Amino acid sequence: KIDWMGGDWWYLTGQGLSAYEGGAGGYSEGHWGVGVLSPSWKNWNLYGEMLIGAGGGGGVDSGSALLYKPSIGLGYNLSDDFSLQTGIGKVISKEGNLNANTFDLSLVWRFGTPK
């Protein structure tokens, strides 16, 4: 996952993932979308994302491969450069039977270009 911060409260995101076992080895997804961040309160903040993309393979019924992926989550800032995030969401196929819950746990590293 990589995000580009467009401002203090919104960002653009690109995400990709692949399965290597669990009955769906070879399944892959790629998404683009937008996210929003709440103001920080005592190092905590909320986020929400809506993504659209494609996915398929591994015997997963993703139909035409068009996927939607909404999610919400909670982050805790460890420092200016690092934070922990956890989130829940869904990945939903427009035409196939794929409709799965997701859980995300991430260590976030913020980096940028000098100004």
pLDDT digits (tens, 9 = 90+) for 62-110: 988 999 999 999 999 999 899 999 999 999 999 999 999 999 999 999 8
Helix (H) or strand (E) holding 22: none
Model confidence at 22, pLDDT cuts 50, 70, 90, reads: confident
Task: Give the pTM.
Answer: 0.87
Instruction: Give dist(CA 112, CA 115) in Å, integer.
Output: 9
Instruction: Give dist(CA 80, CA 76) in Å, integer.
Output: 11
> Under a CB-based contact definition with an 8 Å cutoff, are residues 111 and 88 in contact?
no
Cα atoms found within 13 Å of the Cα of residue 102, Cβ hemisphere only: 18
Instruction: Give dist(CA 106, CA 49) in Å, integer.
Output: 15
